[in-house]
Amino acid sequence: MEFLTSGAVEVSGVFGYCVIMPGNALLRLHESAPFSRVVPWRRRGLCLVLSSPSGGGKTTITRRLLRYDSSLRLSVSATTRPRRGDEEEGRDYYFLSLAEFEERRASGWFVETAEVFGNFYGTPRAPVEAALREGASMVFDIDWQGAEQLVRELGGDVVTVFLLPPDLGSLRERLKLRAQDGADVMEARLGGALREVGHWVDYDYVLVNHDLDEATAYVQSIFLAERLRRERQSGAADVIDEKLHP
């Protein structure tokens, strides 16, 4: 362990190294030691679900996780809501008409669906099942309705994290800064946030998003620990037995 300037601590370890900044606690992962070297056997994938009220930070933290870990896949949802700004088909959402959405839902194309403020959202099933089979990890930016359905469908393959805002005033300010919705929709989102927060008890992990760097670091820690759980290491027994009894 080596102390750096400004109180930062560099920690060497099996994941390469990380820099932990006191206060902000930003955890940056480096790929000098790939995960495949730490876990050199067949493994089951992992679905990491991030939920929060609108404006609670789940989308921003999801983007940071993807930037810090190139092996992590993003689950892209389908939606019936209109496209906003520079959103792109297939990158941000799959944009469907209501008729298209209903047809796909009836055929089992989605692994979960939800209605949020009059629009429908759903997660395509095929990419999720492929990721799990391939031992890949996938992150989901969805609400409590979707999280509940994913757990019901996929059981132990799902790890859920709920992000709480520091207080209602902070949440209101974050919604204003987004400036993506009209005043009526913003008030509806604020009212919905109070109801959504009540579902935190159904999640595996809960944390308060006072600071984005800090919250991202804690979510990364959860993700890494869950990837290393013994029950996800489906091929460990054969490899370890071979090394111990060549």
pLDDT tens series, the chain, 246 aa: 232 333 333 333 333 334 334 333 344 444 445 566 666 667 788 999 999 987 788 989 999 999 888 889 999 999 999 999 889 999 999 999 999 999 999 999 999 999 988 899 999 999 999 999 888 899 999 999 999 999 999 999 999 999 998 876 666 666 666 555 566 766 776 777 778 888 999 999 999 998 999 999 999 999 988 988 888 887 777 777 777 776
Q: What is the pLDDT of residue 195?
A: 81
Instruction: Give this prediction's pTM.
Output: 0.77
Provide the 10 A C-beta neighbour count for residue 185: 14
* Segment 94-152, tens digit of pLDDT: 999 999 999 999 999 999 999 988 899 999 999 999 999 888 899 999 999 999 999 99
